[in-house]
């Protein structure tokens, strides 16, 4: 495919971003994977949260073939993807103060657990408050965000802080402000977002690190297999039974 086509340009942009996060976020990926491995080996549970399109990357690591069976989706009604009408309601809910605290107080999260929070801008009240509240409960937090937003936008949380300010580990997706990689002389707005591609890759790198770290410690990582291969359902059934007290999407 020619680099002069919009498709080729997008692939090049995405590949460049993936190479950047591979090289520049290697230490953070290692730290995040180690944090998850520590949580699993210590008897803790794993959770992931993202609002709007950031929820796509969170869902990608939950109940996933080849992924850690202990990763649970922390769902906030109205902000999981674009599952409400109008879709703009989800964006509005991200800016509501107090919502994250209510969600966490009624969730199974407890001290010793780990929570992955995904927010491209990291500026809205929901992800900031969720990170703050989770850490106050003794939960360790991994934030996945574009750090650039903190220097070029205004926080929407009353504290004036961003998600990155309340995490044990921060993964910087390197996505530019506005999340659009391409421009065209005849198109007035930038287009072609790459945040989902990059964020999902970052998180799968973290999952791979966590699994390998557990194995290096002599602990078999609780991985799921595809239900579309022979024996997959039986394998997963054994994992679900062994870790039933730490898996919530089965309930």
Average of pLDDT values for 101-129?
95
Report the chain's mean pLDDT, rounded to a whole number. Answer: 94
**pLDDT for the residue 12:** 96
Q: Which helix (H) or strand (E) holds 12?
A: helix 6-24
- Checking if the pLDDT of 197 tops 60, the result is yes
Q: Which of 67-71, 72-76, 173-177, 224-228 is predicted with the least confidence, judged by mean pLDDT?
A: 72-76
Collapsing DSSP to helix, strand or coil, 44 comes out as coil
- Checking if the pLDDT of 2 tops 60, the result is no
Q: CA-CA distance, 115 to 138, in Å (whole number)?
A: 11
When pLDDT is cut at 50, 70 and 90, the band that residue 3 belongs to is low
In the chain, what are the helix, strand and coil shares in percent, each to the nearest 5?
45, 15, 40
Q: Which helix (H) or strand (E) holds 172?
A: strand 169-172
Tokens of 240: 């679900």
Average of pLDDT values for 42-51?
96
When pLDDT is cut at 50, 70 and 90, the band that residue 159 belongs to is very high
What confidence tens digit (pLDDT) does each residue in 14-24 have?
999 999 999 99
Q: Do the strands 140-145 and 114-118 form a parallel or antiparallel pair, or are they unpaired? A: parallel
**Displacement of CA 237 from its chain's centroid (Å):** 26
Collapsing DSSP to helix, strand or coil, 89 comes out as helix
Average of pLDDT values for 164-171?
98
Residue ranges in 177-249 assigned as alpha helix (H): 195-216, 232-242
Q: CA-CA distance, 130 to 72, in Å (whole number)?
A: 16
Q: CA-CA distance, 110 to 193, in Å (whole number)?
A: 35
What confidence tens digit (pLDDT) does each residue in 213-242 have?
999 999 999 999 999 999 999 999 999 999
- Checking if the pLDDT of 195 tops 70, the result is yes
Average of pLDDT values for 146-160?
93
**DSSP secondary structure letters along 97-139:** TTHHHHHHHTSS--TT-EEEEE-SS--SHHHHHHHHHHHHTT-
Are 56 and 81 contacting, i.e. CB atoms less than 8 angstroms apart? Answer: yes
| Beta pairing partners, 32 | none
**pLDDT for the residue 41:** 97
**Phi and psi angles of residue 216, each rounded to the nearest 5 degrees, phi first:** -65, -25
Average of pLDDT values for 35-55?
96
pTM of the shown model:
0.94
When pLDDT is cut at 50, 70 and 90, the band that residue 25 belongs to is very high
When pLDDT is cut at 50, 70 and 90, the band that residue 1 belongs to is very low
């Amino acid at each position: 495919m020619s680099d002069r086509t919009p498709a080729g340009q997008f692939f090049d942009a995405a590949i460049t971003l993936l190479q950047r996060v591979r090289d520049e976020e290697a230490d953070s990926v290692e730290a995040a994977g180690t944090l998850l491995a520590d949580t699993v080996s210590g008897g803790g549970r794993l959770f992931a949260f993202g609002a709007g399109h950031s929820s796509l990357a969170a869902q990608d690591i939950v109940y996933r073939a080849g992924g850690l069976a202990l990763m649970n989706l922390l769902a906030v009604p109205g902000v999981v993807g674009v599952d409400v009408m109008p879709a703009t309601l989800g964006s509005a809910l991200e800016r509501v103060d107090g919502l994250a605290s209510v969600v966490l107080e009624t969730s199974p999260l407890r001290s010793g657990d780990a929570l992955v929070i995904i927010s491209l801008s990291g500026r809205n009240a929901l992800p900031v408050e969720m990170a703050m509240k989770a850490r106050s409960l003794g939960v360790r937090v991994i934030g996945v965000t574009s750090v650039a937003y903190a220097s070029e936008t205004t926080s929407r949380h009353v504290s004036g802080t961003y998600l990155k300010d309340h995490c044990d580990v921060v993964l910087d997706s390197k996505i530019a402000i506005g999340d659009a990689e391409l421009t065209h002389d005849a198109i007035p707005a930038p287009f072609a977002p790459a945040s989902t591609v990059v964020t999902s890759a970052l998180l799968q790198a973290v999952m791979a690190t966590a699994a390998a770290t557990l194995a290096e410690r002599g602990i078999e990582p609780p991985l799921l297999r595809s239900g579309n291969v022979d024996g997959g359902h039986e394998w997963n059934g054994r994992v679900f039974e062994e870790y039933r007290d730490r898996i919530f999407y089965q309930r």
